[in-house]
Amino acid sequence: MGLFSRIFGRKSKSGTSGTSSSRKNIPALSEHFSIAELAIIPAPLGKVSGTVLDEAVIRSCITAVLKNQGTKVNNLIIDEMKAPFDFLSTGYSHNTERGYAAVVRDNSGDHTQFPIDRRVLIGGANYVRRATTDLHPDIARMVNQDLPVDSTLHLAAIDGIAYAALVIKREMK
């Protein structure tokens, strides 16, 4: 078979295509996400009264908001959080530019008899940091780092204080 026939896949006199046997089935790529970095800070303002939260409460608040919309990334974060409490969320809203927001009913520990409502905001660092107090140094370090093109940073704020930061990596496999 000549070069011209190989390039354009024309059949030779024997009736076989010159390129069909050399073509391989390439599997379709799919999107995969992973958590590249996670920081949960139970006392981001130090020991300031009323601002220290148990890590289990932080994880449960994040899960309560994200379980309202089952995206691949949200499901990944929910699995990673391993929330020990099943908090109820109300007033849920989602905006692609701003992120997720909801009021979460914390009925854990001392709040079993009298639950308290916590306002939770989860989204991009540029938006969430405008709605919070000063960032803890560990969270600020994550916000100020140069991220690879395939990664995004999300902050989680509870009642106006950033308690968690996550770097999500996106890959095509």
Query: What does the block give as tokens for 44?
Result: 């981001």
Parent domain of 76? 32-172
Number of domains in the chain: 1
10-residue mean pLDDT profile of the chain (173 residues): values are 56 53 71 94 94 96 95 94 95 92 93 92 93 94 94 96 96 87
pLDDT at 22: 52
Residue 15 domain-assigned? no
Contact indicator for 62, 122 with CB cutoff of 8 Å: yes
3-state secondary structure 100-118: EEEEEEECCHHHCCCCEEE
Residue 4 domain-assigned? no
Residue 39 domain-assigned? yes
Q: Of 157, 148, 151, 164, which Cα lies nearest the Cα of 130?
A: 157
Residue 50 domain-assigned? yes
What span, in angstroms and rounded, lies between the C-alpha atoms of 58 and 156?
A: 9
Q: Give pLDDT tens digits for 8-53.
A: 555 555 555 555 555 567 778 888 999 999 999 999 999 899 999 9
Contact indicator for 38, 56 with CB cutoff of 8 Å: no
Residue 85 domain-assigned? yes
CATH assignment of the domain containing 75: 3.40.1110.10
For residue 130, the 8-state DSSP code is G
Residue 22 domain-assigned? no
What is the pTM assigned to this prediction?
Answer: 0.81
Residue 25 domain-assigned? no
For residue 24, the 8-state DSSP code is -
Residue 13 domain-assigned? no
